[in-house]
Amino acid sequence: MSKLVCVDFGHKGKLLGQDCGAVGNGLYESDLTEIIGKGIVKELSNYEVDIRIAPRGSLTDRTNYANSINADYFLSIHINSSNNTSATGWESFVHNNASQNSINYQKIIHTEIMSYLKQFNIIDRGMKKANFAVLRQTNMSACLIENLFISNPNDAKLLKDDNFLNGLSNSITNGLVKTLNLQLKIVENEKTKDNKQEDINMALLDWQKKLGTSAIDILSKKGIISNPEIWKDEKNLESPVPSWLFFEIIKRVVEDK
User: For strand 90-95 and strand 141-149, is the pairing parallel, antiparallel, or unpaired?
Assistant: antiparallel
| Digitized pLDDT (tens) for each residue of the chain, 257 residues in all | 689 999 999 988 665 556 788 999 999 999 999 999 999 999 999 999 999 999 988 999 999 999 999 999 999 999 999 999 999 999 999 999 999 999 999 999 999 999 999 999 999 999 999 999 999 999 999 999 999 999 999 999 999 999 999 999 999 999 999 999 999 997 666 555 667 777 777 776 666 666 677 777 777 777 777 776 776 666 666 666 666 666 667 667 666 65
Which one is catalytic: 29, 91, 112, 146? 146
DSSP string, 131-196: --HHHHS-SSEEEEEEEEETTSHHHHHHHT-HHHHHHHHHHHHHHHHHHHT--B-----HHHHHHH
CA-angle at 42, arms to 145 and 194, nearest 5° = 145
Provide CB contacts within 8 A for 140, sequence distance 6+: 66, 67, 70, 71, 72, 73, 74
How remote is the C-alpha of 249 from its chain's centroid?
A: 57
Distance CA 51, CA 6 (A): 6
Closest CA to 62 of 140, 145, 138, 131: 138
pLDDT of residue 94: 98
pLDDT of residue 210: 67
- Is 146 catalytic? The answer is yes
Write b or e for each residue in 220-244: b if 16 or more Cβ atoms lie within 10 A of its Cβ, otherwise e.
beeebbeeeeebeeeeebeeeeeee
pLDDT of residue 220: 72
Q: In the β-sheet with 73-80, what is the strand arrangement from edge to edge?
A: 49-53, 3-9, 73-80, 141-149, 90-95, 124-130
Write b or e for each residue in 26-37: b if 16 or more Cβ atoms lie within 10 A of its Cβ, otherwise e.
ebbbbbbbbbbb
Which residues share a beta bridge with 9? 77
Segments making up each domain of the chain, as ranges: 3-180, 198-256
Q: Is 8 left (phi over 0), alpha (psi -120 to 50) or beta?
A: beta
Confidence (pTM): 0.72
Range 3-180: architecture per CATH: 3-Layer(aba) Sandwich (3.40)
pLDDT of residue 203: 72
Q: Alpha helices of 222-242 — where are they, by DSSP H? A: 228-231, 234-238
